[in-house]
Amino acid sequence: MKSSAQVVVIGGGVVGASVLYHLTELGWTDVVLVERKELTAGSTWHAAGGMHTLNGDPNVAKLQQYTVGLYREIEQRSGQNCGIHMNGGLTLAGDRERMDWLRMAQARGRYLGMDMEIISAAEAKQMFPLLEEQYFIGALFDRAEGHVDPTGVTRAYAACARQAGAEIYQRTWVSDLRQRPDGTWDVSTDAGEIHAEHIVNAGGLWAREVGRMIGLELPVLAMEHMYLITEDMAEVAEYNAATGHELPMGMDFDGELYIRQEGGGMLLGTYEQACVPWSPRQTPWTFDQQLLTPDLDRIAPSLEVAFKHYPALASAGIKNVINGPFTFAPDGNPLVGPVPGVRNCWVACAVMAGFSQGGGVGLTLAHWMVDGDPGEDIWAMDVARFGTWASLAYTNAKVRENYSRRFRITFPNEELPAGRPLHTTPVYDRLTAHNAVWGASFGLEHPLWFQRPGEEPREDVTFRRSNAFGVVADECTAVRERVGLTECSNFAKYRVTGAGSADWLQRLFTNRLPRVGRINLTAALDPDGHIVGEFSVARAGADDFFLFGSQIAEAHHSRWFLGHLADGVRFDVLALSLAGLSLAGPGARDVLQSVTGVSLATEDYPFMTFRRIDVGMIPARVGRMTYTGDLGYEIWVAPEYQRALFDLLWQAGQPYGIGLFGFRALMSLRMEKMFGTWAREYRPVYTPVQARMHRSLKLDHDFIGRAAVEEEMARGPARTLGYFDITPDPAEPADVAGDEPIWHDGKVVGWITSGAYAHYSRRSLAFGYVPTELAVPGAMFEVEIIGQRRPARLLSEPVLDPAGQRMRA
């Protein structure tokens, strides 16, 4: 065994093998993989090997597409048979909502070049004669689906990596990990020590235990999962003889099951409601290529549906029942990337669909390690999307929810209940008393809208407009015509202090820093000029800054800042040590002025001012800006003051007709002001030139990514963020949810990033990227919303107050 290596990958399941392979592909060959038993000894060996490209997140779908396309290549290069069966797959819908979901999935796939077809139930029956047509109304057919041999694939990755110089040590257990002061690692195994520059936790079923070796509690949990294989069936033999090929795969929403041919019989797997976590606290190291005891009673409800939907199964004998554990993160997507706060420590775990996702996970992690950037949009998989709040019990609640909803639709306006409420701010009870309908993000509850008194605070889930529509319209009117009050604690807040802070930030930010007492907007870029983050920067002193950013990116962004930290600078995540309320609308100044002795007249307190003032008796930091684009203030206080602040402002606002507004109204208001948002318009795959962040770009100073920006400005961006005015279907109006394709001249040319109905302006608006040469004001496009192409006109300026007079008034 080597005593040192550039990388030690811990775990020889399909994911670890893929990481090892991709590292060698990118030229890192001094890499080793350590596996405690045999390759595939965890979840991998008993997987059903199914693979598909369909995923609710188009960026994950793209990585799945890459994975599925990789198998022929590794099979050829390694000489190892991967058992590839590309039979195509049907996703079957039994009702209108599911059909809508399939249409949206097909549409999302279009701009990724996926060739998926919507077919009728009769056509589905022709392709899959085992199904009973009466239970379905249609299906999505995807040619890029099939199944592989899990062991063959893992060995093929391993063989290709070995050919390139990687070494694999089986029957070798990593028992301890210790970091040296220089950031390198001592990896203890039962066969000796390896000194490594980097470690990768691909421990699958034991990823949590490997994390604990360094004091890390990863949000990952294993669930029991069952599938059964029937004896050979005459119906299957007949189909094979008649067509010369195997049956396609089937995913059946109503039955919460998947079905495919296995040899001469059928394989049927379920995601049952009565799901059961496996080893919820500690995975035993003694577990080795074992299966769990099957429990057919648990999956009986799914089997009942299966026997109705596929009657031939009812009389087929069962040859084998497999029950095995595999792992999930709270939202069902993998955990990939650098562990926040730990140098040279990477994870690739919680991969619940290793044969659809393993290749993409390996590719992006390897790029991240070798190039410092994953190279693809993997926001949905980044390990930093969870904070320390994702505890063992939270993960347990969320994973069980996620597992039992595997074949359920999550609507764009749906808020899932498990693990909530977890974080609440002091005004939670006050807002609940005002009939708040709550959502949660990054563990924190935030008000979505305020139901009318006496009515149930509940939102109907839908792809179209919900029961919130009229109420949100009223909230928007309150802001635009009188004054609105909302909670704004759900920003990420950071404080940067210490000598040298200004110089440090200036080198990170595209905009020049604001003067003391002022705020401005800025972006931070990677060296290739991609957007790492966008922030409001408030300067409290020469070397004292408050940064406000997207809350869901708090761990992601703080990892980046801390990774660039300079000597003498202190970077603090303020989290809920700072709570906020925001006043917005033409009456905002009058309300706030009535409770503070400081003059708020524009000449004394102009737009983008940030100062420490007293509001009533409450010490606060007040920024004169809001995301509504109206006259307004964000008022930041220590949490113990937030309730008193709420009561004070609510009382003071009564003569001015103050109303509460929530996140839905805020999203509507920001759309009519053409304000983009993190994770939608601004993501690490876009550049500030493409995103038209020109006001935040000042080329008068050096910053990370500047050369790339200048180069892109000189050559012109290939794509540009457009702002669209959409004409919805008058019969059944629906607004965009994000990720819809944009059509032009009969071709898909781009995609929607986000949008909303702008209630006050009465327009359905959206943002989306299109080729720059098409981004001409007034140009007509079509946006595909729930299977319908709706006209969309490209606008050049905000539909409300393009000169920005309201916020400067």
- Which residues here bind ligand FAD, judged by CB under 6 A? 10-16, 34-37, 41-44, 46-51, 173-174, 202-206, 210, 225, 227, 322, 324-326, 349, 351-356
CA–CA dist 177, 314 (Å, integer): 52
Kindly state the smallest distance separating residue 387's Cβ from ligand FAD, in Å.
Answer: 23
CA–CA dist 618, 621 (Å, integer): 10
Kindly state the smallest distance separating residue 690's Cβ from ligand FAD, in Å.
Answer: 34
Residue type, 438: W
Q: Do the Cβ atoms of 552 and 679 come closer than 8 Å?
A: yes
Residue type, 791: P
Q: Which is nearer to ligand FAD, 150 or 338 (CB)?
A: 150
Kindly state the smallest distance separating residue 464's Cβ from ligand FAD, in Å.
Answer: 33
Closest CA to 792 of 778, 806, 774, 776: 778
Show the tokens assigned to 390: 């994702």
Residue type, 46: H
Helix runs in 14-85, H state only:
14-25, 58-78
Kindly state the smallest distance separating residue 147's Cβ from ligand FAD, in Å.
Answer: 7
Question: Are β-strands 610-615 and 519-525 bridged in parallel, bridged antiparallel, or unpaired?
Answer: unpaired
Q: Which is nearer to ligand FAD, 22 or 480 (CB)?
A: 22
Q: Do the Cβ atoms of 682 and 377 come closer than 8 Å?
A: no
Closest CA to 313 of 292, 326, 294, 299: 299
Helix runs in 226-373, H state only:
234-243, 300-309, 354-371
**Beta partners for 139?**
92, 119
Q: Which is nearer to ligand FAD, 400 or 706 (CB)?
A: 400
Kindly state the smallest distance separating residue 44's Cβ from ligand FAD, in Å.
Answer: 3
Residue type, 143: R
Q: Do the Cβ atoms of 99 and 84 come closer than 8 Å?
A: no
458 burial type by CB count under 10 A (0-12 exposed, 13-18 middle, 19+ buried): exposed
Kindly state the smallest distance separating residue 279's Cβ from ligand FAD, in Å.
Answer: 12
Kindly state the smallest distance separating residue 2's Cβ from ligand FAD, in Å.
Answer: 15
CA–CA dist 633, 624 (Å, integer): 4
Q: Which is nearer to ligand FAD, 135 or 173 (CB)?
A: 173
Q: Which is nearer to ligand FAD, 65 or 511 (CB)?
A: 65
Show the tokens assigned to 766: 């959206």
Q: Which is nearer to ligand FAD, 65 or 628 (CB)?
A: 65
Kindly state the smallest distance separating residue 138's Cβ from ligand FAD, in Å.
Answer: 24
Q: Do the Cβ atoms of 41 and 12 come closer than 8 Å?
A: yes
Closest CA to 693 of 685, 701, 681: 681
- Helix (H) or strand (E) run with residue 322 in it: strand 318-328
Kindly state the smallest distance separating residue 720's Cβ from ligand FAD, in Å.
Answer: 37
Q: Which is nearer to ligand FAD, 209 or 474 (CB)?
A: 209
Kindly state the smallest distance separating residue 315's Cβ from ligand FAD, in Å.
Answer: 24
Closest CA to 768 of 786, 795, 788: 795
Q: Which is nearer to ligand FAD, 47 or 737 (CB)?
A: 47
Q: Which is nearer to ligand FAD, 365 or 485 (CB)?
A: 365
**Beta partners for 270?**
226, 257
Give the phi and the psi of residue 419 in degrees, each rounded to 5.
Answer: 70, 25
Q: Which is nearer to ligand FAD, 171 or 612 (CB)?
A: 171
Q: Which is nearer to ligand FAD, 202 or 471 (CB)?
A: 202
Helix runs in 567-681, H state only:
588-593, 642-653, 663-672
Kindly state the smallest distance separating residue 88's Cβ from ligand FAD, in Å.
Answer: 15
Kindly state the smallest distance separating residue 39's Cβ from ligand FAD, in Å.
Answer: 7
Q: Which is nearer to ligand FAD, 53 or 754 (CB)?
A: 53
Residue 337, sorted as left (phi over 0), alpha (psi -120 to 50) or beta, turns out to be left
